[in-house]
Structure 1
Amino acid sequence: MDYSFFSGLIQNVALLLVFSFLYATRWIDSTHSKKLMPNIFAGVIVGGIGILLMFTPWTYQPGHYFDLRSILLAIAGLYLGAVPTIIAILITAGYRLFVGGNFVVTGVGLIIISGLLGIGWRYIQQRRGGKNSIVSLYLFGVVVHVCMMLLPILFPADGSLDVKFMALPVIIIYPVITVLLGALMNRQLENWKNRKAQERLYESEQRFTKMMLNINMVFINIDLNNTITFCNKYLLSITGYTEEELIGKNTVDIFFPVDEKENTVEGLRQLFKNKEDIHHFESKILTKDQRELFISWHNSIIVDDFGKVKGIASLGENITEKIATLEKLKEAKEKAEESNRLKSVFLQNISHEVRTPLNAIMGAISLLKLPSVDKQMREKYYEVLELSGARLLSTVNDLIDISQVETQQIKVNKTNFNLSQILANHVNVATPIAGKKNNKIMCTSKYFHTQTVLHTDKEMLSSIFINLLSNANKFTTDGTIEIGSRDEQGDIVFYIKDNGIGIPENRLEVIFDRFVQADSSLSRPHEGSGLGLSIARAYAKMLGGELWVESEERKGSTFFFNIPKDEVTLATSGTSKEESEVLLLPNQKILIAEDDKLNYLILKKIIENMGVTNILHAKNGEGAVEMVRDDKEISLVLMDIKMPKMSGEEATLQIRTFNPTIPIIAQTAFAMPGDRERFIEIGCNDYIPKPIDKKVLIKLLHKYLNPSSKDFTRTL
């Protein structure tokens, strides 16, 4: 069985249904209007459907193909009218001429006749006032397709076509499909007429009743004397008045503020005089308790049967909440714009804080290469490198810290430590830095001289002190910076007081924002990312306290923060010998796995200063694994994590398969929360982040190498 007969016929019918759907949803209105463009557009779409019908013919017998373009164009003429149908005829006929082949004249003639017959039949039906009944549609379908059968007879030179062969599908199938499609169009047309009738009825009712039906809006009637003659419940509910308190009263006296009474009276007088409706008029009204409400009014003049003005019917929308929302959106927009501006300033500052030390580092390196540099200048350049590197590292650390705070990756790690040692360390470190600006550091806290041991996060507490001392020193010159404290309700309240430039009152809170400094201009004389105070406040909150500031311009600032006084035991003072001395490590063999040559040379120099002369170097993980496997005398491995060919993680895992005891210390730039635990979990004994702190590295080496003698010492 040739299924192309059914598939083609079904596809053609489906396209006719699409045409019917578009008629019902898009074109009925346009066919009953005088607008040209919708009718032109409908004609283009119908022409497109006609082309698609020719694309999907159905096979009656091999070599004989039919489509339903004649039904499409005939029905289009009958229901859409002349303009869309003529456009569809031109498009479909044009495409048929373009395709060419046999029966071109017959095909084009069929397209033209079908459309014109539809237009003519529509005209006759309208003149007679008749409807497209089933009988009428069937007769119409027969007429159209009898003409279709006559075309091969009239144009025999166009090709040989057996008219008898065409008779069965044309006389039986085509009129039936025409009737079915026409019936569907009739139903859609009838539904449209019913819907339009309902809409007209609804609109008619709305003209007289819409004011009363909109109970969720203010409705009020006033007469020529501005006296209230009617009001609805919604107005009573939002204003707090009763009906007795409003009916018969002057609306201007009751509802309008004093400063708007005169304008309101004049506006109503003009409204009555000109007999005009005023729409979208907004005003304020007062409630019984003198709250202001914003109302958007729609006013209509009320006239009697003789056209004489009787009063005004006013429908009002309560837009108080909308106004408030718009104000909030405006405020949010302004905040967003300010935030974007501050972010731009922040990025400019960060770029400055990164590029400035990098410029100094690169410049110092290039100058060190000059052969004419003497020892004194070389020392100066070394100092530039050290200071610029420290500044760059501080900026990077600030960015990492604030990122960890934002993403809540950092955790509080409480330990026991001597508070006086912490204070002493910060005084000792801050004193030479402050001296460069002729500032003096002093500590008046009683804990500076006691042996109080606290149980809290030592690193977070130190970070708060560092950021506050750095901030005080940054904005103070030739002054004094005081570290003090007081006890208050189970907390220790620390403060850092300076007599620097102070902070404007309008910036006392915003300085703690992440993208703000006290001076955010490009000409600010102070370096720094502007993240220190934000980090300090975040850490203070994580430790269970708060951080705040008191300041006065040109008189200085005092930053306070409190933490719970979780006191443990008394600690002993003094510094152990191991903290002031470096024990030499002779007779040790250390493997440095590091692909960066400069980092390797730095590590090698630190280890050589400890008396280690036997140092091996692996440039990747594969080399490290082979060296540990082949050399049983290696005492310890300093393992970089990110290396070519094989990473430090994979190298550590492989080494642990054949040597579970050798100490492996991960030395890496991966310094985010959780990295230390991850590296220890894969088999590393310990971890040190880059840039390498020499003192920390020395302690780790002593921890795992356990020198047999303490006779070899070198003072730091």
Structure 2
Amino acid sequence: MNELDTNYKPFTPAKILKPFYVFTVCIMLIFIATLIYLFSTGPNKFIKYQVQEFENLLIQSKKDYIQTAVNGVVQDIEIKEKILLAKLEKENPSLLKNESVLDSIIKKEMYFHISNKKLINNGYVWVNEVLNYNGGDNYAIRLVHPNLKNTEGEYLSTNTKDIKGNKPYLTELNGVKKDGQLFFKYWFKKPNSNKIEQKLTYAKLYKKYNWIIATGVYLDDIEELTAAEISKSKSIIQNQYLVTISIIFISFILILITTNYFKKRISNTIFYYTKEVEERELLLKEFNSNLEQLVEERTDQLNESELRYAALFKKNQSVMLLLNPETGLIIDANQAAINFYGYTFKELTSMKISEINTLPVEETKSKIKDVLVNSSKHFYFKHKLANNTIKDVEVHVEKIIVEGEEQLYSIIYDLSELKKTKKELIKAKEKAEESDRLKSAFLANMSHEIRTPMNGILGFSELLKNPKLSGNLQQEYIKIIEKSGHRMLNIINNIIDISRIESGLMKVKLEDSNINKQVEYIYKFFSPEAEAKGIKLAINNQLPAAKSIINTDSEKVYAILTNLVKNAIKYTNKGTIVFGYTKKDNYLEFYVQDTGIGIPENRKKAVFERFIQADIADKMARQGAGLGLSISKAFVKILGGDIWVESEENVGSTFYFTLPYNNKTTKEKLVNTTPISNNVGTKTNGLKVLIAEDDEISETLLSIALKDISSEIIRVKNGIEAIKKVKNTPDIDLVLMDIQMPRMSGYEATLEIRKFNKNIKIIAQTAFGLSGDREKAINVGCNDYISKPINKNELLKLIQSLFKATVV
């Protein structure tokens, strides 16, 4: 106690509170100094930084806008070019042989398209056509500038300067020559104003036509926006500073009040506990000495333990094991290892690694020695799980020291899923390659199938030009041209059907259908073709007439039977073809049996896939696109049935398909297809006809077909002209309205005509030929509909039905 008495200094409230007061004053001084610094320098720096960021964002947003606008115009041009090229290929294939004329038409159309291009907020795009890439003065011609129409067609000089002495055209030319695009600034007069402001412009070179396509925005609004942002920021920061000062001041007052309140209580507490503290201080010293010695001993143990568990990461998601290299015993394992191997912790830590590894014991020991020599290694093993499953694993092993002993720390990765994924990728690659090969074969076959009838059409059309050709040869050539045309139309119809099936647009139109009549019609239709090849064609109907009516889509049933019978005739050289159906339970089973070449066993499923005909191994594919069976399969599935084939090579094939059998009619609610009321006409000839058609060949064909029944034929090229002509010529009897025309479509024109003329007869004519076109035409006001190619006799019958009289 003497030593303690000598060094002891009694506690007082003043001694305890003095450091607190000093600390409080220091804190306040720091706060005050900080506020002075913030008020003097902080706001301005912060605001300057914030405004700079704001300006950068504004400029970047303007850059993004004008770049997006120009790129959108370029993409729009590319899309329009493709659409226009497809249209020209369809409407006038001869243009494809004259590239210069074709390019001129497309370029002119793109120029017209860009001239009408509008951007948001009254923005616009201008176009300069580069003349000379090697420099010079007049480097380009202004093609389009909606805001400066008077400059269109003028030469542009690289020496042109703005008010700051910049040469914007030279900058633009050098930029697109180097990178194909650029951003640049220059001073330019604002629209509808005498004020000259800085303008940010983005220009991009469209190399195909040597067009520089550009647009820009003025930057005069940035200063106004940044000034508002500065004012707003200053106001916010000042308010924040005032709030901060208020809080600090209130906190300081509360600290003083609290300190004075507890001063007396602290004094009393010190008085009662001072002696007890003095007595216990000696005990505390002795306890601290013993505690320091114990902590030193425990720290050494804890360091080794922490190293061990830090290395293992008990809760790590990776599979981890700790092994004894001498015995191969598993010392420890994490939860991931327990889950992977399927053993409990107790079971796993009582096993040796050789009980899991499928390698021989001696080879396993050799691997362990290898790790001890090289400190770390990684291996590929097969490990056996608790359920006897064998897994491919990758093992990373490292030697560590725990409590002075060598141990092996292992991380195990399951490779099973990786190998499975690799196999799936290989299969997917092979499937993709097969699909690509089939499509390539299909395209080659499709090219052949299209060019072959085109060869017949164009070739025999050329032969018909011979003035010395006999009448018999003329008729023979015309029949060949007609046959080639029908073959071409069939290919196009198949492609349209496939595209509609693929896109999910194929609709079902349910109605009562007489199956017997459909089978008999197919028989009558194909009998001449079968007889011409020396094949006997026969049918087998099982149901009486009253029970042969089912509710289905008759057009699709007709298409299925047509495809199957046509295929049977195509691949049968002699013998018989029998087709028909039988009733089984609640469905009808149709069949087409032939004595043709048959199908190899490995190709039976493939024949129903797309593009397969073009890839038949024995090259027995005949005329056709290879889509008929694929379309038939899709139609059967849509109608709720199934399709399959039984076949033997060189013996014959039998194709089967099923359809639900239901006598009850459950008709689908269809679009109202009732034509506009047809008042009975009295005319038998001398009709006044308006032909609205933009294609000259189609218009000429219609004029020739109608010349015998018409007193006058009027021709217009678009829907707007058709409306004007009907309005100004009230005695027109009939309008042949093409659906797709420039400026205004046939549908729109018909709607407008029906607003002031309800009685005129309108027949819609289109090359689309899709399901639902007739209903759409009727709904907009047409009396009827006919699809291209137009047959003269069918057209005259249609006109006759509209006017309720015989047309000569």
Of 393-402 and 364-373, deviating more is 364-373
How many residue pairs get aligned? The number is 500
Q: Does 1:557 align with 2:653?
A: yes
1:376 to partner: Cα distance: 2.8
Of 272-281 and 336-345, deviating more is 272-281
Q: Does 1:241 align with 2:339?
A: no
1:403 to partner: Cα distance: 1.3
Q: Does 1:548 align with 2:644?
A: yes
1:520 to partner: Cα distance: 4.7
Letter in 2 for 1:496: V
Following the alignment from structure 2 to structure 1, what is the Cα–Cα distance between the partners of residues 566 and 662?
Answer: 26
Equivalent residue for 2:589?
Answer: 493
Q: Does the 8 Å CA contact 1:272/1:311 hold for their aligned counterparts?
A: no
1:252 aligns with one of 334, 348, 354: 354
2:800 aligns with one of 699, 702, 705: 702
Q: Does the 8 Å CA contact 2:577/2:595 hold for their aligned counterparts?
A: yes
Q: Does 1:480 align with 2:576?
A: yes
Q: Does the 8 Å CA contact 1:604/1:615 hold for their aligned counterparts?
A: no
Distance 1:229 1:395, change over 3 A: same
Following the alignment from structure 1 to structure 2, what is the Cα–Cα distance between the partners of residues 222 and 499?
Answer: 77
2:632 aligns with one of 526, 529, 536: 536
1:681 aligns with one of 775, 779, 785: 779
Letter in 2 for 1:360: G
Equivalent residue for 2:212?
Answer: none
1:11 to partner: Cα distance: 9.4
Equivalent residue for 2:318?
Answer: 217
| Structure-to-structure mapping, 1:155-174, within 5 angstroms | none
Following the alignment from structure 1 to structure 2, what is the Cα–Cα distance between the partners of residues 212 and 654?
Answer: 79
Distance 1:217 1:457, change over 3 A: same
Q: Does 1:512 align with 2:608?
A: yes
1:450 to partner: Cα distance: 6.8
Letter in 1 for 2:511: T
Distance 1:212 1:591, change over 3 A: same
- Alignment deviations for residues 277-310 of structure 1 (CA, whole Å, 9 cap, x no partner): 5544333323233323232211124568888xx6
SS in 2 for 1:517: helix
Following the alignment from structure 2 to structure 1, what is the Cα–Cα distance between the partners of residues 304 and 346?
Answer: 33
Q: Does 1:459 align with 2:558?
A: no
Q: Does the 8 Å CA contact 2:513/2:553 hold for their aligned counterparts?
A: no
Letter in 1 for 2:798: L
Following the alignment from structure 2 to structure 1, what is the Cα–Cα distance between the partners of residues 775 and 644?
Answer: 34
1:426 aligns with one of 509, 517, 522: 522
Q: Does the 8 Å CA contact 1:547/1:560 hold for their aligned counterparts?
A: yes
Letter in 2 for 1:477: N
- Alignment deviations for residues 675-711 of structure 1 (CA, whole Å, 9 cap, x no partner): 333322322112111122556534422321111x6xx
| Structure-to-structure mapping, 1:127-142, within 5 angstroms | none
| Structure-to-structure mapping, 1:64-83, within 5 angstroms | none
Q: Does 1:657 align with 2:759?
A: no
Following the alignment from structure 2 to structure 1, what is the Cα–Cα distance between the partners of residues 695 and 434?
Answer: 43
Distance 1:203 1:408, change over 3 A: farther
SS in 1 for 2:412: strand
Equivalent residue for 1:612?
Answer: 709
Letter in 2 for 1:482: V
Following the alignment from structure 1 to structure 2, what is the Cα–Cα distance between the partners of residues 468 and 706?
Answer: 39
Letter in 2 for 1:234: A
Equivalent residue for 2:452?
Answer: 356
Following the alignment from structure 1 to structure 2, what is the Cα–Cα distance between the partners of residues 396 and 415?
Answer: 26
**What TM-score do the two structures reach when normalised by structure 2?**
0.55
Q: Does the 8 Å CA contact 1:669/1:689 hold for their aligned counterparts?
A: yes
SS in 2 for 1:684: coil
1:329 to partner: Cα distance: 2.9
Distance 1:229 1:447, change over 3 A: same
- Alignment deviations for residues 24-65 of structure 1 (CA, whole Å, 9 cap, x no partner): xxxxxxxxxxxxxxxxxxxxxxxxxxxxxxxxxxxxxxxxxx
Q: Does the 8 Å CA contact 2:570/2:622 hold for their aligned counterparts?
A: yes
Equivalent residue for 2:366?
Answer: 269
Letter in 2 for 1:685: N
Distance 1:618 1:429, change over 3 A: same
Following the alignment from structure 1 to structure 2, what is the Cα–Cα distance between the partners of residues 519 and 476?
Answer: 20
Q: Does the 8 Å CA contact 1:298/1:314 hold for their aligned counterparts?
A: yes
Following the alignment from structure 1 to structure 2, what is the Cα–Cα distance between the partners of residues 204 and 566?
Answer: 80
- Alignment deviations for residues 405-432 of structure 1 (CA, whole Å, 9 cap, x no partner): 1222221111223221111111122233
1:662 to partner: Cα distance: 1.7
Distance 1:520 1:214, change over 3 A: farther
1:491 to partner: Cα distance: 0.8
SS in 2 for 1:446: coil
Letter in 2 for 1:541: K
- Alignment deviations for residues 226-245 of structure 1 (CA, whole Å, 9 cap, x no partner): 44444444333233334455
1:353 to partner: Cα distance: 1.9
Letter in 1 for 2:389: R
Q: What are structure 1's unaligned runs of at least 5 residues?
A: 19-201, 570-583
1:596 aligns with one of 695, 700, 709: 695
Q: Does the 8 Å CA contact 1:676/1:687 hold for their aligned counterparts?
A: yes
Q: What are structure 2's unaligned runs of at least 5 residues?
A: 1-39, 54-302, 666-681
Q: Does the 8 Å CA contact 1:283/1:296 hold for their aligned counterparts?
A: yes
Letter in 2 for 1:210: A
Following the alignment from structure 1 to structure 2, what is the Cα–Cα distance between the partners of residues 539 and 523?
Answer: 27
Following the alignment from structure 1 to structure 2, what is the Cα–Cα distance between the partners of residues 513 and 268?
Answer: 57
1:660 to partner: Cα distance: 0.7
1:523 to partner: Cα distance: 5.2
1:397 to partner: Cα distance: 0.6
Letter in 2 for 1:298: H
Following the alignment from structure 1 to structure 2, what is the Cα–Cα distance between the partners of residues 518 and 385?
Answer: 25
| Structure-to-structure mapping, 1:253-652, within 5 angstroms | 253-256=355-358, 261-262=359-360, 265-266=362-363, 268-273=365-370, 275-277=373-375, 279-301=377-399, 312-447=408-543, 452-517=548-613, 519-520=615-616, 525-567=621-663, 586-589=684-687, 591=689, 593=691, 594-604=693-703, 606-607=705-706, 612-614=709-711, 616-621=713-718, 624-625=722-723, 628-629=726-727, 634-643=732-741, 647-652=745-750
Letter in 2 for 1:653: L
Following the alignment from structure 2 to structure 1, what is the Cα–Cα distance between the partners of residues 775 and 601?
Answer: 45
Following the alignment from structure 1 to structure 2, what is the Cα–Cα distance between the partners of residues 408 and 319?
Answer: 41
**What TM-score do the two structures reach when normalised by structure 1?**
0.61
Q: Does the 8 Å CA contact 2:438/2:614 hold for their aligned counterparts?
A: no
1:670 aligns with one of 755, 768, 776: 768
Following the alignment from structure 2 to structure 1, what is the Cα–Cα distance between the partners of residues 462 and 714?
Answer: 28
SS in 1 for 2:374: coil
SS in 1 for 2:759: coil
Following the alignment from structure 2 to structure 1, what is the Cα–Cα distance between the partners of residues 556 and 478?
Answer: 31
SS in 2 for 1:567: coil
Distance 1:346 1:242, change over 3 A: same
Following the alignment from structure 2 to structure 1, what is the Cα–Cα distance between the partners of residues 311 and 344?
Answer: 23
Following the alignment from structure 1 to structure 2, what is the Cα–Cα distance between the partners of residues 12 and 487?
Answer: 87
Following the alignment from structure 1 to structure 2, what is the Cα–Cα distance between the partners of residues 507 and 280?
Answer: 48
1:645 to partner: Cα distance: 6.3
1:399 to partner: Cα distance: 1.2
- Alignment deviations for residues 171-190 of structure 1 (CA, whole Å, 9 cap, x no partner): xxxxxxxxxxxxxxxxxxxx
| Percent of matched pairs sharing the same residue | 36
Q: Does the 8 Å CA contact 2:689/2:710 hold for their aligned counterparts?
A: no
1:222 to partner: Cα distance: 5.2
SS in 2 for 1:661: coil
1:665 to partner: Cα distance: 0.9
Distance 1:11 1:245, change over 3 A: closer
